[in-house]
A and B are shown apart, each in its own frame.
Chain A
Amino acid sequence: MIPRKHHKLLIQGITGKQGTFWTKAMQDYGSNVIGGVNPKKAGTDHLGVPVFASAREASKTAPFDIACMFIPPMMAKDAAIDACEGGAKLLVCLTEHIPAHDVMEMHVAAKANGTRIVGPNTAGIVTVGECFVGIMPAFNDRVFKPGRIGVISRSGSLGTLISLNLAQEGFGQSVFYGVGGDPMIGTTSADALRMLDEDAETDAVVLCGEIGGNAEETAAEYASTMKKPVAAFIAGRQSPPGKKMGHAGAIVSGGKGDYASKRAALEKAGVAVADTPSQIPGLIRQRLKAA
Chain B
Amino acid sequence: MNFEEHAAKPLLARYNIAVPKSRLAHTPAEAEDAARQIGPCVVKAQVPTGKRGKAGGIKLAGTPAEARQHAEAIIGMTIADWPVEKVLVEAQTAIDRELYLAILNDSATKGPMLLFSAMGGMDVEEVAERDPTAMRHFAISISDGPTLAIAQKAIEGLDLEAAGDELTATILNLYLAYRELDAELIEINPLVVTKENHVVALDCKLTLDDSAASRQKATAAQAAPERYTDLEAKAAAAGLKYIELGGSVGVLANGAGLTMTTMDVIAHYGGKPANFLEIGGEAYTKAKTALSILLENPNVKSLLVNFCGAFARTDVMAEGVVNAWEELKPDIPVFFTIHGTGEDEAIALVRERLGIEPYDLMDDAVKAAVAAANTRSPA
Contact = CB atoms under 8 A, between A and B. Distances in A.
Contact of A135 (B142, B259, B311, B361): B311
A240 to B, nearest CB: 7
Contacts of B111: 104, 107-108
28 contacts: A97-B211, A99-B209, A103-B110, A105-B143, A107-B110, A123-B311, A154-B257, A156-B280, A156-B311, A157-B258, A158-B261, A168-B361, A183-B105, A186-B110, A208-B257, A214-B108, A235-B258, A235-B264, A238-B266, A240-B243, A244-B241, A245-B276, A246-B256, A246-B280, A247-B256, A249-B107, A250-B257, A276-B265
A1 interface: no
Interface residues of A, number: 62
Contacts of A236: 260, 264
A184 interface: yes
A102 B209 CA distance: 11
Interface stretch (B19-27, B149-157, B186-194, B337-345): B337-345
B257 A155 contact: yes
A142 B264 contact: no
B341 to A, nearest CB: 5
Interface in B135-169: 141-143
A140 B361 CA distance: 16
Contacts of B265: 276-277
B143 A235 contact: no
A210 interface: yes
B244 to A, nearest CB: 10
A100 B105 contact: yes
B330 interface: no
A137 B243 contact: no
Contact of A101 (B182, B264, B363): B182
B265 to A, nearest CB: 5
Given A100-B209, A235-B264, A277-B362, A155 B256 contact: yes
Going nearest first, the 7 A-B pairs with the smallest beta carbon separation are A155-B257, A157-B255, A246-B256, A158-B257, A157-B258, A99-B212, A135-B311
Interface of B: 105, 107-108, 110-112, 141-143, 179, 182, 184, 209-212, 214-215, 241, 243, 245, 253-261, 263-268, 273, 276, 278, 280-281, 308-312, 339-341, 343, 361-363
A36 interface: no
B362 to A, nearest CB: 7
A210 B245 CA distance: 18
Contacts of A184: 105, 107, 110
Contacts of B339: 140, 142-143, 160-161, 164
Nearest to B184: A100
B211 A276 contact: no
Interface string A144-185: 000000000111111111001000100000000000010110
